Amino acid sequence: MKKTALITGASRGIGAGIARLFAKEGYRVVINYYKSGDAAEAVKREIISEGGEADVFCCDVADCSGVEQMVGFAKRRFGAVDVLVNNAGVALFGLVTDTTEEERRRVTDVNLHGVFNTSKAVLPDMVSRKSGVIINISSIFGLSGASCETVYSATKGAVISFSKALSREVGPSGIRVNCIAPGVISTDMNKSLTPADLAELKERTSLNAVGEPCDIAAAALFLAGDGAKYITGQVITVDGGII
């Protein structure tokens, strides 16, 4: 029987890469987006054109009611959610002293509260079925911190702690919860980096390279599968050896 994967923030970048790979491997995919509707529809069309099954749902993961509606849509469209990939996130670059209350709240609401909201929404069915996988996309900055990305780093560190704690809470119900901490990945979020910035970052990695969304997608696919059936509460760092 085919499984269903709900992937947040899946219209572009890492999320889109995860959606494409999961669909290619036979998952029914629900592509969540908030603002990039055209991009989400393009990912859906691409998946369907290649014989996969996919649909889209517009929802701000920071909105509890919207998240509940999204999970309900996924169940009606494809059946119970077997795999949740919490990828939606926003970045914030700047000094703490220059950060506004509105900026801080938005980053926290999406990056941390969004993970809580979606996890809470899918868990009742997973617990009932005693089966399910939750994969949270954090960041190497959640492990090491980053200057001028303090709020972002704090939320990503919190996602790691949340994942570890939740894995203990739901493990007895047969549910696995893991985290992926990407390094520098070639996405829209990093388009502001100058060639000099990218060159410096490459030099800091053991592999002397910037990662691609497919690198994170491959790690997520592994964690979702039976090959990882005894892995939970872990942080898989996919960073080319930068830390």
Q: Which of 227, 138, 238, 125 shows the shortest CA–CA distance to 178? A: 138
Distances in Å between the alpha carbon of 111 and those of 118, 152, 204, 216? 11, 8, 26, 17
Choose the catalytic residue: 27, 33, 152, 230.
Answer: 152
- Pair 37, 57: CB distance under 8 Å: no
Q: Which residues contact 130 (CB under 8 A, 6 or more apart)?
A: 173, 174, 175
27 is catalytic: no
CA dist 165 and 159 (Å) reads: 10
Active site residues: 152
